[in-house]
Structure 1
């Protein structure tokens, strides 16, 4: 079975975009039907409105005019210019024909042309008593010289996982631990202009603070221009950031932050927890728990279609896992980034 051509997906090619999305839909149904389904608007509009901090080509394996596989790739534009990532999907009807390898090799050659020397690909894994997953993705990565560098756990939480009394008690305990040193501020959508600079500063600490395993990634510098450009993209794609932060009253600086991302689509039942971060100097005051409960209530009030919030955490991130378990998050499965360093 050959006759495969690999092309970069043109967002204006409506037929091929729809065919590529069908690959994602079919792969999801075969590999992880319990996980959130691919969202057509997010996929198609994401092609039209790329991440302003990343060059993100999508390579499509085409046979007889139809997509049979795709590799969604990303190359940071600002920092980490040595790095590139790809997520590879092959339609279940066309597997075991070398299409995944063709896509991976195409990505590797593209990365080399761009001077990238450290690459990652991802796959799902079985984790503890979660849903059993195929080892095919892991074996594929290892076959091509990629080594497991970061493991994470995928969890979901019903928006009403806790009884109201239990949720309120948890909130009050967190409020007592936080005391009156912090101002709590929430919003939906764009970051208010007067908070953009302080939010850019706390966002710039994310890659320093979150566990990255053996991934070779340095800190990112987020500035107001990038934050506003990402807000423009979210608006264009119908993605709503539901955000709650803690501001240190003594300094006026944001010192803790959580965000959930929900689609405007009234039929889509899933939302996605973004990074929750607390400045190291302000840990121990239960700010993570406090912000996540208040933010959960905002999601319930403003996005009634959302039934579950999804998150993933590095397997070694015990503090955040502890908060999530207390809030009712349950394990679905695991996942991993596999890393390969190219010859210089």
Structure 2
């Protein structure tokens, strides 16, 4: 333990960035090889182009000049100033040697110094008949006083999971249910300027609408400036949104939205389903199914290398899970957010 040092990563230090990525790569190969591999380009560019609404710090554990562990730490900087999260990863060859504990202690110290009173760490867990996962992450969180607060289920779907006739039939039924009250608009890349305000309003409802388990998070207020700053970051990182929305013709407001995020990398075969949200007053018209199928077709058209789309939903989000099962999503495993509260 004595020769272990914890430092903050400088994104300009190429050797340390590579060392940190190697920890993530090795842990992925050991712990969840069936899940999407970490992407080095996105990792490096994400460090140089930080989130506009979150302060991110990477703490590294080094031993004898080698990076053996990483704590990726985030602190919201607009709302939820009571909150901080970390994802702690230890290289498989250096586990059970106090590395994780040293990173956890540094995370807690860092968060408490900023007045954060609710902290979370996450880990993969086994779910139903999915792939069996180690219990080590869960035990580690509990040992440090964290309790399970939210479980989400990780699912994957082949882009051609449905045969074309079944997909077309589902689409036509959804179109019939939606009727002609909505204008459906799709795009690839950043949100068109004339839609930024309405999309910022729908994005601001996300945390109020998605199930959060025991986590106490207030909805974020997303304005056009923040929305555009996030789009700038995606562009800088080579992350390309593929998005489809329903606009209520009566009001001109976006009332349903789905997005898949692909990478500007012709070799990368994974893409990631973002939040699908339907305004409560517009539920029951199969808008979720309609948008997801149209958006899936857009992904296939624009990203022929993408073979699999990944999503996670809170285990209690029955409506969205129902849609995903119909579309061919299958369980891989689950993730759990463990929470610990401190006095102010």
Q: In structure 1, what is the Cα distance between the partners aligned to 2:343 and 2:146?
A: 13
Q: In structure 2, what is the Cα distance between the partners aligned to 1:195 and 1:270?
A: 27
Mapping of 1:229-244 within 5 angstroms? Answer: 229-244=229-244
Match of residue 276 from structure 1: 276
| 1:343 CA drift (Å) | 2.6
Q: In structure 2, what is the Cα distance between the partners aligned to 1:3 and 1:143?
A: 24
Q: 1:38-80: CA deviations, max 9, x gaps? A: 0001110000001000000011001122110000010001000
Mapping of 1:47-126 within 5 angstroms? Answer: 47-126=47-126
Match of residue 26 from structure 1: 26
Q: In structure 1, what is the Cα distance between the partners aligned to 2:82 and 2:125?
A: 27
Q: 1:276-316: CA deviations, max 9, x gaps? A: 00000000000000000000000000001100000000000
Q: In structure 1, what is the Cα distance between the partners aligned to 2:335 and 2:43?
A: 21
Structure 2 unaligned spans of 5+ = none
Mapping of 1:69-218 within 5 angstroms? Answer: 69-218=69-218
Q: Which moved more, 1:59-68 or 1:306-315?
A: 59-68
RMSD: 0.5
Q: In structure 1, what is the Cα distance between the partners aligned to 2:308 and 2:2?
A: 41
Match of residue 35 from structure 1: 35
Q: In structure 2, what is the Cα distance between the partners aligned to 1:59 and 1:290?
A: 43
SS at match of 2:150: strand
Match of residue 297 from structure 2: 297
Mapping of 1:220-259 within 5 angstroms? Answer: 220-259=220-259
Q: In structure 1, what is the Cα distance between the partners aligned to 2:61 and 2:343?
A: 26
Structure 1 unaligned spans of 5+ = none
SS at match of 2:127: coil
SS at match of 1:57: strand
Q: In structure 1, what is the Cα distance between the partners aligned to 2:148 and 2:263?
A: 32
Match of residue 324 from structure 2: 324
Q: 1:134-165: CA deviations, max 9, x gaps? A: 00000000000000000110000000000000
Q: In structure 1, what is the Cα distance between the partners aligned to 2:2 and 2:158?
A: 45
| 1:2 CA drift (Å) | 3.1
Structure 1 ranges of 4+ moved more than 4 A: none
SS at match of 1:56: strand
TM-score (norm 1): 0.99
